[in-house]
A and B are shown apart, each in its own frame.
Chain A
Amino acid sequence: MESHLAYLDAGSGSLIVQALVAGTAGVVVAAKLYWRRVTSVFRRKTPAEATAAPVETATPAAATADKD
């Protein structure tokens, strides 16, 4: 669905900075994103979540969480 959007490499880090530039509400979003990254290590993923976020399941941390 979004394939036509992304002719330009927006830069994964640049997308997050954009949230921080947007003020308090954006900082909250970025904080939530980082918090979710941290807690994803301890969270048990449902199979649906695992397929929805392929990058996360590919990381060793996520793989360990899956084995729990």
Chain B
Amino acid sequence: MTPEHTRPVAEPGSFRDPQTRVFHADGEVLRGLGAQAAQDWKALRDSEFFARAQADGTVTATEEIDRELPGEPGTWSATLRHEPLPFVTYHYEWSHTMRQDAARLHLDLLQQALRAGFTMKDGSAYNLQWRGSRPEFIDVGSFEPAKPGEPWAGYRQFCQTLLYPLMLQAHLDLDPRALLRSQIDGVEPAQMRRLLGGTKRLAAGVLKHVHLHDSIQSRNADRSTGAVREQLRDAGFNSELVLAAAKAMAKLVTKLDWAPPATHWGDYRETCSYSDDDRAAKQRFVDAALDATDKTDLVLDLGANDGVFSRQAAARAKTGYVVAVEADPAVVDTLYRQLRAEGERRILPIVMDLADPSPGGGWASHERASFAQRAAKADVTLALALVHHLAIGRNVPLPAIVDWLAGMGHTVVVEFVHAEDPMAQRLLANKPDGLFPDYHVETFVRQLGERFDIAKRETLPGGTRTLIAGVRRA
């Protein structure tokens, strides 16, 4: 190992393919390749297909470097370095259109790869990440030269992590995030079959990808994939058929649209209690707090709603990256589609209920990092008009909210909505009188002051909302 580098640490989420493993060192993302994978990489690197995917940014920017990685001698035959992602998200944090675009990119890359004589080893949604509103395929180790008569090994995984979730939302208006979050390998064909019975069998793609898939799977359960591969080859299967299947699936994915219902948050800005003066003052306060911060590489906008402050933060933090976290999938979907149309690369919208953020998942609960773990590296946290939802709506004690904020951004900008504000009143109306005697701006500022140095405080002209900027104590 070269002395100027710290020892790379293995990424807990990249152990499944023993031929390749991702490591982190000094903010760099490195990938070790075993002997076979290194050979595959050389073929890929020299291909026109890969050059094109690098140029258009659909596959993470990658270069080969000379660096030793941890492992038994001879484990790694080559080392790659990937362009790091500003923030990692998982498919149980995406809106429907994001999932649709990610699925489309996967199938598009598969088709391009097949035309260039390559195939993909898998079909997992976890291999797709985002730079703002653009999806990107991160697993360079997934590509390998195709062999004649070989089917796509990733078809089942693609169904379970991308196609089925799209079907659930499009055909049943059922948000698939709860299932995806609790099952790392996605939704099983047998589960889908139970959900899509009756006339739903006739919905796009259901008969083939769900019912037929499940029944053929159970009829072939005692046959090995090796034996079936051989039978398919003998029966004349070829890569043209994989290409045809990929094309058919891409067409299906495009059909699986979802029209978000009109929700409470969808027209929030029209119904909320701000005056124009309030909004202008709030914007000035947020700008000033961002200007006063040295490091704005990663900004979390918690409770981002329509993303107006995410946009403001992105404009203010010139080189920074903003993650807009919002609980309403319909609002996130709308925001995503707007950002996509604008070609925005520095704002990533994600769906998450902040009173129930993504836990760690998969093997040893570390294969997928919890939101708390990923949010810990944030520089700035915006929590605008969020605290009353957590404190009144979800009964989270104020000191617990302060502790939670202290686990994230170094700088925090909080908007505290007073109990008298109409929006707080609306939440209080659902709870017994006097349930939250401590819900008061002075109490909150004092508690926040125990973990943060309060830099600035301002009550908006309307008199029922107070903004507080704080810097976390070392």
Seen from chain A, the residues whose Cβ lies within 8 Å of a Cβ on chain B are: 1-2, 4-23, 25-26, 28-30, 32-33, 36-37, 52-56
Contact across chains for A55 and B223 when beta carbons are under 8 A apart: yes
Which of chain A's residues have a CB closer than 8 A to the CB of B134? none
Q: Say whether B5 faces chain A, with CB atoms less than 8 Å apart.
A: no
Contact across chains for B248 and A22 when beta carbons are under 8 A apart: yes
9-residue interface stretch from B58-66, B83-91, B235-243, B455-463: B235-243
Taking the closest CB of chain B, its distance from the CB of A7, in whole angstroms, is: 5
Q: In chain B, residues 152-193, which have Cβ atoms closer than 8 Å to a Cβ of chain A?
A: 152-157, 159
What residue in chain B is nearest A54 (Cβ atoms)? B227
Among B147, B227, B231, B245, which residue has its beta carbon within 8 angstroms of that of A18?
B245
Q: Say whether B474 faces chain A, with CB atoms less than 8 Å apart.
A: no
Which of chain A's residues have a CB closer than 8 A to the CB of B218? 13
9-residue interface stretch from B13-21, B71-79, B391-399: B13-21
Contact across chains for A10 and B220 when beta carbons are under 8 A apart: no
Contact across chains for B18 and A23 when beta carbons are under 8 A apart: no
Contact across chains for B242 and A13 when beta carbons are under 8 A apart: no
Which of chain B's residues have a CB closer than 8 A to the CB of A55? 223-224, 226-227
Known: A17-B209, A19-B151, A32-B236. A12 touches B241 (CB 8 A): no
Give A54 to B224 CA distance when docked, in angstroms.
11
Most buried by B among A7, A12, A22, A53: A12
Contact across chains for B121 and A29 when beta carbons are under 8 A apart: no
Contact across chains for A10 and B235 when beta carbons are under 8 A apart: no
Give A14 to B227 CA distance when docked, in angstroms.
13
What residue in chain B is nearest A40 (Cβ atoms)? B231
Known: A16-B220, A53-B230. A10 touches B240 (CB 8 A): no
Contact across chains for A6 and B209 when beta carbons are under 8 A apart: no
What residue in chain A is nearest B122 (Cβ atoms)? A8
Q: List, sorted by A's number, 20 A–B pairs whose CB atoms are closer than 8 Å.
A: A4-B19, A6-B226, A10-B151, A11-B225, A12-B227, A13-B218, A14-B217, A16-B216, A16-B228, A17-B216, A19-B237, A20-B212, A22-B241, A22-B248, A25-B240, A29-B235, A33-B234, A33-B235, A36-B234, A53-B230
Contact across chains for A15 and B151 when beta carbons are under 8 A apart: yes
What residue in chain A is nearest B155 (Cβ atoms)? A18
Contact across chains for A10 and B153 when beta carbons are under 8 A apart: yes
Which of chain B's residues have a CB closer than 8 A to the CB of A2? 147, 150, 226, 229
Known: A36-B234, A55-B224. A25 touches B154 (CB 8 A): no
Q: Say whether B254 faces chain A, with CB atoms less than 8 Å apart.
A: no
Give A7 to B122 CA distance when docked, in angstroms.
9
Contact across chains for A15 and B229 when beta carbons are under 8 A apart: yes
Contact across chains for A21 and B122 when beta carbons are under 8 A apart: no
Known: A2-B147, A7-B17. A15 touches B224 (CB 8 A): no
Among B213, B225, B229, which residue has its beta carbon within 8 angstroms of that of A17?
B213
Contact across chains for B144 and A23 when beta carbons are under 8 A apart: no
Which of chain A's residues have a CB closer than 8 A to the CB of B217? 11-14, 17
Known: A13-B217, A19-B232, A20-B208. A8 touches B157 (CB 8 A): yes
Q: Say whether B249 faces chain A, with CB atoms less than 8 Å apart.
A: yes
Contact across chains for A10 and B227 when beta carbons are under 8 A apart: no
Which of chain B's residues have a CB closer than 8 A to the CB of A4? 19, 36-37, 144
Q: Say whether B364 faces chain A, with CB atoms less than 8 Å apart.
A: no
Taking the closest CB of chain A, its distance from the CB of B369, in whole angstroms, is: 22
Taking the closest CB of chain A, its distance from the CB of B449, in whole angstroms, is: 52
Most buried by B among A18, A32, A36, A55: A18
Taking the closest CB of chain A, its distance from the CB of B362, in whole angstroms, is: 15
Give A11 to B156 CA distance when docked, in angstroms.
7
Contact across chains for B230 and A21 when beta carbons are under 8 A apart: no
Which of chain B's residues have a CB closer than 8 A to the CB of A14? 155-156, 159, 213, 216-217
Q: Say whether B264 faces chain A, with CB atoms less than 8 Å apart.
A: no
